[in-house]
Amino acid sequence: MAPEKSTRRLGRGLEALFNASPSKSETAPVPGDTAFQEITVAQIRSNPFQPRKTFNPGDLRELQNSLQSTGLLQPITVRPGPGASGGYELIAGERRLRAAINIGWTHIPAVIKDLSDQEILTSALVENLQRTDLNPVEEANGYNQLIKDFGFTQQVVAEMVGKDRSTIANVLRILNLPPAVRQLLQDGDLTQGQARPLLGLENAARITALAHEIVAKALSAREVEQRVRESSQPANAARRGRPRKIDNRPAEIRSLEQYLRKYFQTDVTVSLRSQNRGSITIDFYSPEDLERLTGLLGLRQDQ
């Protein structure tokens, strides 16, 4: 049976924000708001509300090659610099701007909009989420900034980005992990599925130690859950439990499994039934997680 098409789409985004709170762009449209113009890259300052902090060098090189061969297909978006500072402040298109600067461009096509701080943050957050560009920590920080800086509830944030409120709440819990563990998530060495059970431990040192053990031993999310349960039991009770299963799979299979976990940012299990046959299981934890994974696999439910 063909999968049912999803009726949810990522990010009511700015529409939800604009309907909830009038902006400067609604009351005072800027000339050229719907058309682009060439501006000098030296006039553009970075977006202070950009939730994305890491940029893949390989992806950036591919974009640079694309700009050199076909030019810029989509202009960046900027707003006039605040106060009397002049110039422009980037709203969307930081990868495009970085790639253009790297190949020596002095001018770049841009759409100029007059947006508020909260509109800029939401725009950048939605844009990156639509491309699944944010790592879990960046995503959590973006939601947290919308809540703390602008007073939005989790429900309002969920409506902005087209996700369930429970999904927003679960992502925000990542910020309760120790800094070293959040760094592993940012680097892609730890997936959300592996990190989520760690929140069941109260001791930060134990959480950090187990996180490093997860990476070193390529533990699955289920194995992490078992370790957390054992940590919550008396020592003698843990010893009476079932002995841990020894992983007899070839090293290259275990290495492949860890690579797939890092790539998909979720729990992946590679099982062998015989020398040349087996299966790959990819776990998801919400409808949005499933949509993200189908996108990574090149499958779209609306196609």
- What CA–CA distance (Å, rounded) separates 86 from 63? 29
pLDDT tens-place string over residues 200-250: 888 898 899 999 999 888 888 888 888 888 876 654 444 455 555 667 778
* Residues sharing a CB contact under 8 Å with residue 167, sequence separation 6 or more, in sequence order: 158, 286, 288
pTM exceeds 0.95 for this model: no
Q: At what angle do helices 179-187 and 136-150 cross, to 10 degrees?
A: 120
Count of Cβ atoms closer than 10 Å to residue 121 Cβ: 24
What does the block give as tokens for 189?
């060495």
**Bigger pLDDT: 130 or 58?**
58
* Rounded CA separation 60/273 (Å): 40
Catalytic residue (choose from 15, 89, 94, 139): 94
For residue 83, name the pLDDT band (cuts at 50, 70, 90).
low
Distances (CA, A) of 165 to 143, 158, 283: 11, 5, 21
Domains in the chain and their CATH numbers? Answer: 14-133 (3.90.1530.10), 177-240+249-296 (no CATH)
Is residue 94 flagged as an active site residue? Answer: yes
225, containing H or E segment: helix 221-231
pLDDT of 109 = 92
DSSP 174-221: GGGS-HHHHHHHHHTSS-HHHHGGGGG---HHHHHHHHHHHHHHT--H
pLDDT tens by residue, 5-49: 333 334 444 344 434 333 333 323 333 444 678 999 999 988 777
Average pLDDT over residues 87-112: 89
Taken in order 223, 228, 232, 236, the sign of the CA dihedral is positive
Of 206 and 289, the structure prediction assigns the larger pLDDT to 206
